[in-house]
Amino acid sequence: MEPTAHVDTFVRDNLPPKNQWPKLAFELPELKYPKRMNCAVELLDKMVAGGHGERTVIRALIDGKAYSCTYRTLLDRANQIARVLTEDLKLKPGNRVLLRAPNNPMMAACWLAVTKAGLIAVPTMPLLRAAELVQIIDKAKVGAALCDLRLSEEMELARAGCRSLKQVLYFNDAGAGSLEQRLAAKPTTFANVDTAADDPCLIAFTSGTTGRPKGTVHFHRDVLAMCDCFPRSCLKPSRDDIFCGTPPLAFTFGLGGLLCFPMRFGASTVLIERLLPDTLLATIAKFKATICFTAPTFYRQMAGLVRNHDLRSLKKCVSAGEALPDATRQMFKEASGIEIIDGIGATEMIHIFISHTPERVRRGATGYAIPGYAAMVVDDAGKPCAPGVVGRLAVQGPTGCRYLADPRQKDYVIIQGNLRGWNLTGDAYKTDADGYFYYQARTDDMIISAGYNIAGPEVEAALLQHPAVAECGVVGVADAERGQIVKAVVVLKSGYTGNEPMVKELQEFVKKTIAPYKYPRSVEFMASLPRTETGKLQRFKLRMTG
């Protein structure tokens, strides 16, 4: 490693042992980064120096009124916050700073400030409770937090429950001692910390639906690599694009799509708190957004609402977080004329590694390994599977998994054999002869019923083609006779009733659409499906119902 700028080396010291690190590849010319680099300086100071200073970078609604700020204003604000962090809070390079807010301009400025100061950002989802925050704070030994005032309740409960967290400053707060009040007294200049490209700058905790959270450590270089892969090859934004969408900035899908990608290309982003499908559509219309990032369930619900909104500005849509059923892709295309760009990413990999351009879409496929990444489907012995054969997805590229002090590193990064250094995402996939990848299920979500392997998402895709089905989730539940049986939890569209004839109809429909043995022997109806803040179905909850 290049000499670190970190005075506090806790995170570097708690990276996995070197022999468990992912192998990286930097073949693309745009990935040949210098040894010393600070990603926030690249995204902000250098964009201002490069002539973008007077252009809009962030758009928002503040107290219901349209707000916008330029790259130069954002730089001034980030510099002032960086001074508060280093001069008032006396934080030293390598210290961890918890960030907590819905998507808004101050949250963005705080992330940039923390990063410019060579500190390590630990962004957290707004809906987390104190108990979950305490786990994160303890794991990352976080000493300071910048938190939106409206999230103070759980923040204070968490602070009382952990020893390392000494200082909390609140923002979006006009009160005495607030971050705003402190930064107002600071000059708008700041001496950026000259970090190594491989100094850690971000700990992204995984949005896992069960178990103890895992902290994935990312370097300054990784943040730029995420900007220089998927956006360059699949999204192809221009400086005039206006990004918007739902993923929280605390989720790397959102940090990339709604902050880093627009800034890398001199474009702008719309940051709105708490969006629903209809308010997202209204936001696109109001801000004339051109690019939208959200999850499949949003596209499915938006398809039915498109006609109520003026979406002429919208050009490109990105879906990630969960498999995009082909029925949803077609429904959204019919409604809006837009071919969604699907992409699989992971917190461990920081962002998307398999995707496609709208022109190179293939029905049912997530896409192909994007330039910069290699992907393959392998069997349990680590041998590549032939096209059509289901196996585990392995990927390699400029980014990879590094858990903070966690034995589960060995489950994600292969540490021996010919695939040493490849990342196993935990997904079951198959390929076709042209190198397209087809999602099947999470490897631990495969349903095994009477000896058959059944992928829940395939049954979901079949159900979604039925006109009565709004949303559905398919899981395996224990069964004395068959080991597991297929259970479907279905949300019906309004006007349909969840009764015995409907169960029969859906079962017959699945039998006619895919191999009959895959039909759901159990069907249950719910008003809505349980989801995480990142839009993922909480399958374990579906197994427990009924």
User: Which residues neighbour 191 within 8 Å (Cβ) at sequence distance 6 or greater?
Assistant: none
Among 241, 342, 406, 458, binds ligand 3UK (CB under 6 A): 342
Q: Least distance to ligand 3UK from the beta carbon of 346, Å?
A: 4
Picking from 489, 457, 429, 484, the residue whose alpha carbon sits closest to that of residue 326 is 457
Using CB under 6 A, which residues numbered 157 to 216 contact ligand 3UK?
Answer: 206-207
Decide: 340 and 318 in contact? Cβ < 8 Å: yes
Question: Candidates 157-165, 269-277, 340-348, 394-402 — which segment interacts with ligand 3UK by CB under 6 A?
Answer: 340-348
Given the complex with ligand 3UK, which of 206 and 268 has the nearer CB atom?
206
Given the complex with ligand 3UK, which of 427 and 458 has the nearer CB atom?
427
Which string of b and e fits 275-287 if b means at least 16 CB within 10 Å? bebeebbbbbbbb
Using CB under 6 A, which residues numbered 295 to 334 contact ligand 3UK?
Answer: 320-324
534 interacts with ligand 3UK by CB under 6 A: yes
Using CB under 6 A, which residues numbered 350 to 369 contact ligand 3UK?
Answer: 351-352, 366
Given the complex with ligand 3UK, which of 118 and 345 has the nearer CB atom?
345
Which string of b and e fits 325-334 if b means at least 16 CB within 10 Å? bbbbbbbbbe
* Calpha distance 456→474 (Å, rounded): 5
* Calpha distance 213→207 (Å, rounded): 7
Q: Least distance to ligand 3UK from the beta carbon of 115, Å?
A: 18
Q: How many residues bind ligand 3UK (CB under 6 A)?
A: 25
Pairing between strand 291-294 and 268-271?
unpaired
Given the complex with ligand 3UK, which of 95 and 319 has the nearer CB atom?
319
Largest Cα span, the chain: 72
252 interacts with ligand 3UK by CB under 6 A: yes
Question: Candidates 251-259, 331-339, 403-411, 480-488 — which segment interacts with ligand 3UK by CB under 6 A?
Answer: 251-259
343 interacts with ligand 3UK by CB under 6 A: yes
Among 92, 288, 408, 442, binds ligand 3UK (CB under 6 A): 442
**φ/ψ of residue 245, rounded to 5:** 155, -170
Decide: 227 and 256 in contact? Cβ < 8 Å: yes
Residue listed under structure tokens 């252009």: 55
Residue listed under structure tokens 């190198």: 435
Decide: 422 and 394 in contact? Cβ < 8 Å: yes
Question: Candidates 38-46, 114-122, 329-337, 423-431 — which segment interacts with ligand 3UK by CB under 6 A?
Answer: 423-431
Provide the binding-site residues for ligand 3UK, judged by CB under 6 A.
206-207, 251-253, 320-324, 342-347, 351-352, 366, 425-427, 439, 442, 534
